[in-house]
Amino acid sequence: MTDASGTLPANGLQIAYETFGDPDHRPLLMVMGLGAPMLLWHPDLCAMLAGRGFFVIRFDNRDAGRSSHLRDARPPDLMGALMRGDVSSASYSLDDMAQDGFGLLDALGRPAAHVLGASMGGMIAQVMAARHPERVLSLTSIMSTPAPALTNPTPAATAVLMQSPATTREAAIAQGLEAARITGSPGYPADEQWRAELMGQLWDQGLDPAGTARQLMAIYASGDRTEAVRGIAVPTLVVHGDSDPLINVSAGRRTAELIGGAELLIIPGMGHDLPRQVWPAIVDAVSAVADRTGADRTGADRTGS
């Protein structure tokens, strides 16, 4: 169960959020991936992190879930970006999405936080750590990349990204289950009951394929972030599955290579999801990298800042 939820003004938008755990504990901002509302952060995982001394904050990125959707924005030209490198139709960048996260922390009265992101959320978390290291106590980048060119998805995983949106609730559930079978973890049993319930919730909440396209365009518009990632100096953990069909494990290895002192956790059999069986290892590693910081339990101070 969540402890608090709502929407708050952040970076000129309304950002929906939920929290888990003791507000006096060290804050952990969790950033989700492409087109994915915060509901994809399993509440049991959030509770597990809260049990390790984190005040967990999950939120909906712009154009996802209950946060602001930029429906009046110019339609993104994804084919132009892919074929000609023309990103002029992008409505925003990953930097703007990073500012949304900082804006939410401002609204919650948190000057700094540990930041954990998955997939596109990992890209946003990297930008946060690169641009404002004084506000990022530690970085955890999961199944992510410093550059779009490093993703190397399989043809089947690419097809999942390009499929037409479902037009009924039942079709959305079936489509979500099939996508999870393709992009998920071959080394672990899938929790299809939770996935089906989740897809139903997402349908009820309202899907926004155009919003997902705007987020994808933000990734293209932000381009290769290698030099920015190379400059990250906060304690960093990089997590990747060796069976990820959507963002190849080589992208995770490259992320860790770029960041001095970064810890790299490669999980055998993990794909582009977070199966329950790997949570203990990830939570242990996240807690360990957070322990390397000089912040107090609230993130209100940082040794050497």
pLDDT digits (tens, 9 = 90+) for 39-48: 999 999 999 9
Q: CB–CB of 67/60 below 8 Å? A: yes
pLDDT at site 161: 85
Instruction: Give the integer Cα–Cα distance in Å for 12 and 15.
Output: 9
Has residue 215 got a pLDDT over 70?
A: yes
Has residue 297 got a pLDDT over 70?
A: no
Average pLDDT over residues 140-163: 95
Share of the chain above pLDDT 90, in %: 89
Question: What is the reported pTM?
Answer: 0.94
Instruction: Give the integer Cα–Cα distance in Å for 236 and 234.
Output: 6
* Cβ atoms within 10 Å, residue 254: 17
User: Whose CA is closest to 31, among 154, 133, 113?
Assistant: 113
Burial class for 177, CB neighbours closer than 10 Å (0-12, 13-18, 19+): middle
Average pLDDT over residues 201-205: 94
Has residue 272 got a pLDDT over 90?
A: yes
pLDDT at site 294: 64
Share of the chain above pLDDT 70, in %: 95
Considering the domain delimited by 4-291, tell me its CATH architecture: 3-Layer(aba) Sandwich (3.40)
Ranges of each domain in the chain: 4-291
Has residue 72 got a pLDDT over 70?
A: yes
User: Whose CA is closest to 145, among 231, 30, 257?
Assistant: 257
pLDDT at site 259: 98
Burial class for 209, CB neighbours closer than 10 Å (0-12, 13-18, 19+): exposed
pLDDT level of residue 112 (50, 70, 90 thresholds): very high
